[in-house]
Structure 1
Amino acid sequence: MENQNNNGNYDNRNRRKSKKKKRIYHKSVCIVLCLLIAIAALGIVNLIRSGKEAPIPEKKVTQNNESFSFGDSGQKETVSPILDTDNALSVNVTAANAIVINADTNATLYQKNGTDKISPASTAKMITALTVLDYCSPDDEIRAGAEIEMIHDDSSRAWLIKGDTLTVRQLLIALMLPSGNDAAYTLAVNTGKKIAGDKDLPDTQSIDVFMDKVNEKAKQLGAKNSNFVVPDGYDADGQYTTAYDLAIIAKACLDDPCISDIVATYSSYERWTNGREVTYKNTNELLNPGSKYYRPEVIGLKTGTSSRGGACIISAAVINGNTYICAVMGSTENDRFQDSVDIIDAIKLQ
């Protein structure tokens, strides 16, 4: 009996040990499984996070007065022009954006938000004029057609009529002096058809062809932070420029004998091919001898006004043998001229 009891006790101890080992084994398996589950969950979280777009450093874009879409230029922002500290102007400009350059030395004498993206308004007509003359002669004749109806109701006009026949030079006068949006579309449509080599190309497609060349021209000149959508500069999504780019374009206008002659004129009388007689006055009050803003040194260039761009003017003046270009953007009707006058007077005091 004693031997049986001893054997029974031994068997009981073995069974307890076996159960304990099983419990330890099961706990170990559970712990390993929990760790594996935790690792897998962490991996899934990281995978999800990695699948999200990495944050891109925010690019600062200053819009002028109103919020609107500039579109994607595909270009890096231009670096602010380096100020010529030895000849820097001491002047208080009220406009949102402004820049003054010496066109002979390319030195920047003043700048205020000069590389901010802004709406060009009718100052865009400078690049329209330059592009037209790349493909047309000033003496070429053009007949105004249905394209003059493509403009907005509140547009500035040269009051072209369907059937008017006039030269490219006369259309450029109608474009630059009274700032005719109808002249802009007549030039753009006809030049676009000439570029495409298709006289029957629809007007809208002709505009697209022309505007492609406008933007090519701007980039060639060095105005790399601009995108023009319509030939008259009327506010449009995806359309933008900078004061600095406009100064570059203005310099090219001064280098063109046809455009520089037109923009320096305050009043122009013309008799068109179809016999119509017109007289246009320049919207640039700096050229108006009867205006308090008149300055005899001024030789152009172009005004503009739009809801997004405000009142603007790109002016040029010859002072002490040097040509200066001043872009004043995002201002008011009168302040744009006053800012320009203050800049001219400051240059004279140097």
Structure 2
Amino acid sequence: MRVRLLVATACALLVPVAVPAPATAAPARTGAAETPCPRVAVSTSAPSRPPRPSPPPAVAEDRVVGGPALAASGLVIPAGARSAPAVTATSWLVADLDTGQVLGACGPHEYATPASVQKLLLAAAVLPRLDPERVVTVTGEDLDIEPGSSAVGLVPGGRYRVETVWLGLLLQSGNEAANVLARLGGGQAGRAGGVRAMNQLAQRLGARQTHAVTPSGLDGPGQFTSAYDLALIARVCFADPAFRRYALTETHQIPAQRQPRANGFQIQNENQLIYRYPGALGGKTGFTDLARHTYVGAAERDGRRLVVTLLGAESRPARGWEQGTALLDWGFALPRDAAVGRLVEPGELDESTSDPPPRPVPPVADARPAAASGSARNGLAGALPAAAAVAGVGVLLALAMRRARASRRRRGRA
């Protein structure tokens, strides 16, 4: 699989003339040039970002979900609004949880990788299905997560209440907790069924640019989301009283286990928003080497509840949650009727036919770096001429084999 991926990468790199120019997003106003998003310069000492995976082919109707202004790949804010704060995130969105109004955004429909904010989609899809008092036994397969990635510390054979597993997921971003909950929520289909439920819910919500491959948000080929989609998902989560309670929980005691013997311990909520931002409602942090820092946070002020989503951020000069608070402050300062679009309602975009045509499936990632704007790119317009493909296959295969032997596995946190 790695060799095939590198061959495809080599083809893309060596034959650039076959790649069409990326489609340009519709401007927020007819005939108007797009406004670049205000960005904070990242220090040259910051860790380099791995090559961004190629997103699925752009679908024009998906980019205008919520309103035509949201098709912009740059900044879109209400007319007359003060300038949005500069952040390092490559895309973001601020919306009203109750009215669904989108107050402002930067590239809201640009594809990005989610990291652990994907656990919100797991919660939205599975939390209503599971009894929080149910006791579940953790299996060895549940602990099959990437070495060095985020974990709660559940032990194989340990017995835990489902509520404890949810708290491990949302407070400590436990990837093994995500596997447990996806397995339970997937019924007889197990973890795969849980991921399928996540994708089915995303489509029902109108989150057409979201495709889950792992329940935890650990990177997987073809896994994407967008700032707009995350707001749709977050809106469902914050409508659930159990989720709101979990998201604001500061600490929880993981019980000791007799067989196998394991001591109990306390976990703390990693989301600094709940400790440091007045009116905080909670949210979710995320990070992998590929996705960089991702964040979803919500807060209430003067009877108004706003949510912020951001993707592709760096932790310097401000961490993800701090960038989120700057955007929340900006949103709360806007008039209540200010809007550039809206969050669609669940089921609103459902096809009228019982068997809608399949949507494009996100492809396996390639190694082409993204443009500075982070815009989505189309794939090859068509197959390469057969003669050119045959002539170059030996060279490409040799290059791919060398790269495969030299490559090292990256660790993700999620």
* Equivalent of residue 107 in structure 2, options 113, 137, 158: 113
1:218 corresponds in structure 2 to 202
* Equivalent of residue 281 in structure 1, options 268, 280, 283: 268
Does 2:231 match 1:247? yes
Query: Does the Cα contact within 8 Å between 1:80 and 1:114 map onto a contact in 2?
Result: no
CA distance 1:76–1:155, change in 2 (3 Å): farther
Query: Does the Cα contact within 8 Å between 1:100 and 1:108 map onto a contact in 2?
Result: yes
2:139 corresponds in structure 1 to 145
Shift of 1:160: 0.7
1:109-258 correspondence to structure 2 within 5 Å:
109-192=103-186, 194=187, 196=188, 206-258=190-242
* Equivalent of residue 248 in structure 2, options 264, 275, 278: 264
Does 2:298 match 1:311? no
Give the unaligned 5+ runs of structure 2. Answer: 1-18, 26-48, 70-75, 335-414
Q: Secondary structure at the match of 2:63?
A: coil
Q: What is the CA deviation profile of residues 173-201 of structure 1, one whole-angstrom value per residue up to 9, with x for unaligned ones? A: 00011000010111112332x2x2xxxxx
* Code of the aligned partner of 1:216: Q
Q: What is the CA deviation profile of residues 100-147 of structure 1, one whole-angstrom value per residue up to 9, with x for unaligned ones? A: 001121111110011100001000001112222243222222111112
CA distance 1:74–1:276, change in 2 (3 Å): farther
* Code of the aligned partner of 2:53: F
Shift of 1:86: 6.2
Task: Please give the alpha-carbon distance, in whole angstroms, between the structure 2 residues aligned to 1:188 and 1:156.
Answer: 16
Q: What is the CA deviation profile of residues 283-305 of structure 1, one whole-angstrom value per residue up to 9, with x for unaligned ones? A: 111123xxxxx112111110000
Task: Please give the alpha-carbon distance, in whole angstroms, between the structure 2 residues aligned to 1:224 and 1:244.
Answer: 10
* Code of the aligned partner of 1:85: P
Task: Please give the alpha-carbon distance, in whole angstroms, between the structure 1 residues aligned to 2:242 and 2:156.
Answer: 25
Q: Secondary structure at the match of 1:99?
A: strand
Percent identity, aligned pairs only? 25
Task: Please give the alpha-carbon distance, in whole angstroms, between the structure 2 residues aligned to 1:256 and 1:73.
Answer: 32
Shift of 1:70: 3.8
CA distance 1:212–1:182, change in 2 (3 Å): same
CA distance 1:348–1:130, change in 2 (3 Å): closer
Shift of 1:344: 2.7
| TM-score, normalising length: structure 1 | 0.72
Task: Please give the alpha-carbon distance, in whole angstroms, between the structure 1 residues aligned to 2:24 and 2:178.
Answer: 32
Query: Does the Cα contact within 8 Å between 2:85 and 2:330 map onto a contact in 1?
Result: no
Bigger mean CA offset, 331-340 vs 313-322 = 331-340
Larger Rg: 1
* Code of the aligned partner of 2:268: K
Q: Secondary structure at the match of 1:85?
A: coil
In the comparison of the two structures, how many residue pairs are matched? 280
Shift of 1:281: 1.1
2:83 corresponds in structure 1 to 90
Give the structure with the higher percent helix. Answer: 1
Query: Does the Cα contact within 8 Å between 1:223 and 1:248 map onto a contact in 2?
Result: yes
| TM-score, normalising length: structure 2 | 0.62
CA distance 1:60–1:177, change in 2 (3 Å): farther
Does 2:288 match 1:301? no
Bigger mean CA offset, 145-154 vs 84-93 = 84-93
CA distance 1:141–1:105, change in 2 (3 Å): same
Q: Secondary structure at the match of 1:171?
A: helix
CA distance 1:75–1:297, change in 2 (3 Å): same
Shift of 1:335: 3.3
2:372 corresponds in structure 1 to none
